[in-house]
Homo-oligomer: A and B are copies of this chain.
Amino acid sequence: MTDAHTAPASPEPRPAGAVPDDFHVFDTTLRDGAQREGINLTVADKLTLARHLDDYGVGFIEGGWPGANPRDTEFFQRARAEIDFRHAQLVAFGATRKAGVRVEDDPQVAALLESGAPVVTLVAKSHVGHVELALRTTPEENLAMVADTVAYLRDRGRRVFLDCEHFFDGYALDAAYAKQVVRTASEAGADVVVLCDTNGGMLPAQVAAVVRTVLADTGARLGIHAQDDTGCAVANTLAAVDAGATHVQCTANGYGERVGNSNLFPVVAALELKYGRAVLPPGKLAETTRVSHAIAEVVNLTPATHQPYVGVSAFAHKAGLHASAIKVDPDLYQHIDPALVGNTMRMLVSDMAGRASIELKGKELGIDLGGDRELVGRVVARVKERELAGYTYEAADASFELLLRDELARDGERGRAARFFRTESWRAIVEDRPDGSHANEATVKLWAKGERIVATAEGNGPVNALDRALRVGLERIYPQLARIELVDYKVRILEGRQGTGSITRVLISSTDGNGEWATVGVAENVIAASWQALDDAYAYGLLRAGAEPQE
């Protein structure tokens, strides 16, 4: 580690399109959000998340704790090199210097400078119990640790925010000391002092009262960091804003330790739509639903269906008491227009709604079902039966279009099935050798344009081997395959319906450079399910390439 204070990495400049500084939307998904049980982020994941959050327009992105673990150190290096931030500033998280150590001798503090982040959030104790039990030092030394570390980083050109851990519990125990920590940080040059409800036990009325008093008694610029243990994190965040806080710390989808953190999306939506305060760049609020779902995909969690504003159910109305009135005037039964946050109203499916959505879907895919009730009915029935078996077409447009074309093909002149080859059989072999290496080999037997094809290939796994064998076998007949590439592969195990064994669903995303499409396969084993999704992926790719359907 280089000597940081003789050769500090120069901090990043403020982004051109940076949002105004009078109110901070501070995202800590990459740091505090990553502590959610079940989230395990790679550096690549963190870079992707940072791009989404910067694009959405948050003012600050807390990337992690450089020096604390190799992943976070690497993230800051790569983020500076690879991401051109348009709205957000990158924030490094760390702790005040150790007790009894000179700040310039604390390697953890040096790592904060080396990260090159223009902003640093320091976590500090403001609860005398924690100072004694957790830090094992005196209240006076704790104040010195705060003052020294804030001043040291300020002197080296960093902007400093101070997170007061356990502030509300500490305030209940010893309000004078808690406020002294706020004053000390503020006087040492911290731009914002963040009051953290670390254990998440607070309720909005308590938060508002404390924030109001601390603001009056210290005059410091205050922020709020709420955890959701009482189910009130969003309300606690807004209560702090009502009381004068001008900096809110949140995580995307409320990810975080235990129950989670204050959820960025309902907080931003409330500030923009209920408070009339523009906290995002113009037009970004309408990206909320997309960004929320994209982030869920990156962290590999299913988007929460009932999340406020962005859940697929958030504006779904069940038939009954409301249905008739909704037709009169949707605003009677919605608190906002869903389009404001990029979501849509849904009437939950009756059979009629089912037909309507199939027709709509057909139009979306450029296939006019011409109100053919018999055909549409057949497609509805087929989709219901397939979805009952585990298929999902919401996530697999290409497979749905192929299904639609198959049904159209049934009545002769309405086009023909987009099938370019037929599978006779295939075989995949996975071998774990005594030397620990793996061999993956696949053989496929196909028919295309009346020709029987037998091809074998190896791969880094059985599915990859099948993929290669299929290409080897078909590329002479369909050279268009060369441009098709698989870009994503997802597996979900679905519980068997009636105690039968579980079944496997595979979703594959493919691209030809001009666009991406998704296909689905379902079977009792992962290889067979993957083959179905591969079959659809290539059939749809060849359809896009304008190849002539012929088996």
Contact = CB atoms under 8 A, between A and B. Distances in A.
A22 interface: no
Interface in A32-51: 34-38, 40, 42, 44-45, 48
A37 B305 contact: yes
A234 interface: yes
A489 B501 CA distance: 11
Nearest to A166: B332
A239 B205 contact: yes
Contact of A35 (B166, B234, B319, B334): B319
A452 to B, nearest CB: 12
A324 B134 CA distance: 7
Given A259-B307, A463-B526, 9 more contacts: A38-B305, A68-B352, A134-B325, A134-B328, A201-B274, A201-B336, A229-B308, A460-B500, A491-B504
B306 A259 contact: yes
Chain A interface residue number, banded = 35 or more
Interface in A378-409: 384, 387-388, 392, 394-395
A265 to B, nearest CB: 9
A133 B489 contact: no
A525 B440 contact: yes
B462 A430 contact: yes
A254 B352 CA distance: 19
A269 to B, nearest CB: 8
Contacts of A270: 203, 230
A434 B429 contact: no
A350 to B, nearest CB: 7
- 3 A-B pairs closest in CB distance: A201-B335, A461-B525, A235-B235
A199 interface: yes
Interface in A258-283: 258-260, 263, 266, 269-270, 274
A243 to B, nearest CB: 10
Nearest to A528: B438
B430 A425 contact: no
A367 interface: no
Given A69-B351, A431-B427, A274 B133 contact: no
Contacts of A239: 204-205
A527 interface: yes
Contact of A318 (B35, B320, B433, B491): B35
9 contacts: A35-B319, A36-B306, A37-B305, A37-B348, A204-B238, A230-B234, A231-B309, A259-B308, A461-B528
Contacts of A201: 274, 335-336
A300 B492 contact: yes
B461 A257 contact: no
Contacts of A527: 430, 461-462
Contacts of A413: none
Nearest to A310: B259
A427 B429 contact: yes
A129 interface: yes
A133 B488 contact: no
Contact of A487 (B203, B491, B499): B499
A198 interface: yes
Given A201-B336, A426-B432, A352 B501 contact: no
Nearest to A426: B432
Contact of A460 (B44, B69, B525): B525
Contacts of A160: none
Given A308-B228, A388-B70, A493-B490, A235 B203 contact: yes
A314 interface: yes
B430 A424 contact: no
Contacts of A257: 316-319, 322
A380 to B, nearest CB: 10
Interface in A403-451: 423-434, 438, 440, 445
Contacts of A318: 35-37, 257
Q: Quick one: which of A44, A232, A269, A497 has the most chain B CB within 10 A?
A: A232
B438 A432 contact: no
B528 A432 contact: yes
A531 interface: yes
A317 B37 CA distance: 8
B460 A485 contact: no
Contacts of A235: 203-204, 231-232, 234-236
A508 to B, nearest CB: 10
A203 B270 CA distance: 9
Interface in A484-542: 485-502, 504, 523-528, 531
A225 to B, nearest CB: 14
A155 interface: no
A386 to B, nearest CB: 11
A438 B44 contact: no
A293 interface: no
Contacts of A524: 438, 460-461
A485 to B, nearest CB: 6
A309 B232 CA distance: 12
